[in-house]
Structure 1
């Protein structure tokens, strides 16, 4: 993976907002300020995911992108007792649409919210209709990740989280 850094990612233009050098991004990581790490398979490919980190507020997010530059899966973590806890996982389905980036509206969104004590709430939204369910006693062991060192995101960006 080739990593580039910016303050934030603009979904509409599919470009970085305020590009950062690796040194600037590292300084933001150390100080806890917001920065975004954007991953591409190689120098000539479109980004496939981005990692947003703002440790001063206990926030980290991994957003996987599809071939049209749209968010397809978003894992949001919160800092709890010195580790990151996967609090929300949201997937987006755009159907047959080929609209680009932030201009596309998902036909279906499915989100899972987790608590550290094993409660999971699932919400499915299709064409404005929403259904919800809740379960207790869920094993959330795999929801925990160590806070990554700067540039070492392999554990955080695991797509499969059983």
Structure 2
């Protein structure tokens, strides 16, 4: 996969904000500053990393530039833990980027001790449920080396 780098991704314009060279992005990776890696040329996947705050996120985008799946990781004891996952469905809408409103949002919050909280929002209605005793071993990832995001960007995390 080929990566391009920027400080942040703009969902409204579907473009990189403040493009970075590979060297600049790597320096940010080492120092812990925020940077975003965008899979090119299709721009259907991006990785945001900010280790100074213990944050990493993997966002899969659909063909209309909208976020379709978001995994957010938190740094805990030197490793990344998948703490939240959210999927977005837009129905027949073809609106682009952040201009589209999701018809359905399904989100999961995970704890390191095996609690999962699921929330489903459809047309303004929300339902919630929790489960305990879940094996969350697959939620852990090593902090990736710069440019080596393969383990982090796994879509299937079951």
Q: Same fold (TM over 0.5)?
A: yes
- Normalising by structure 2, we get a TM-score of 0.99
Q: CA deviation at 1:2?
A: 1.6
Displacement of 1:23: 0.3
> Who is 1:112 aligned against?
108
Give the Cα–Cα distance (whole angstroms) in 1 for the partners of residues 149 and 79 of structure 2.
14
1:50-95 deviations in Å (ceiling 9; x for gaps): 0000000000000000000100000000000100000000000000
SS in structure 1 at match of 2:30: helix
Q: Residue 80 of structure 1 corresponds to which residue in structure 2?
A: 76
CA distance in 2, matches of 1:127, 1:20: 39
Q: 2:39: which partner in 1?
A: 39
Does residue 123 of structure 1 match 2:119? yes
- 1:25-66 Cα shifts (integer Å, max 9, x gaps): 0000000000000002xx4xx301000000000000000000
1:159 match: secondary structure: coil
- SS of residue paired to 1:23: helix
3-state SS of the aligned residue for 1:77? Answer: strand
Gap runs ≥5 in structure 1? none
Query: What TM-score do the two structures reach when normalised by structure 1?
Result: 0.96
Residue matched to 1:26? 26
RMSD, aligned α-carbons: 0.6
Q: Structure 1 segments of 4 or more deviating over 2 A?
A: none
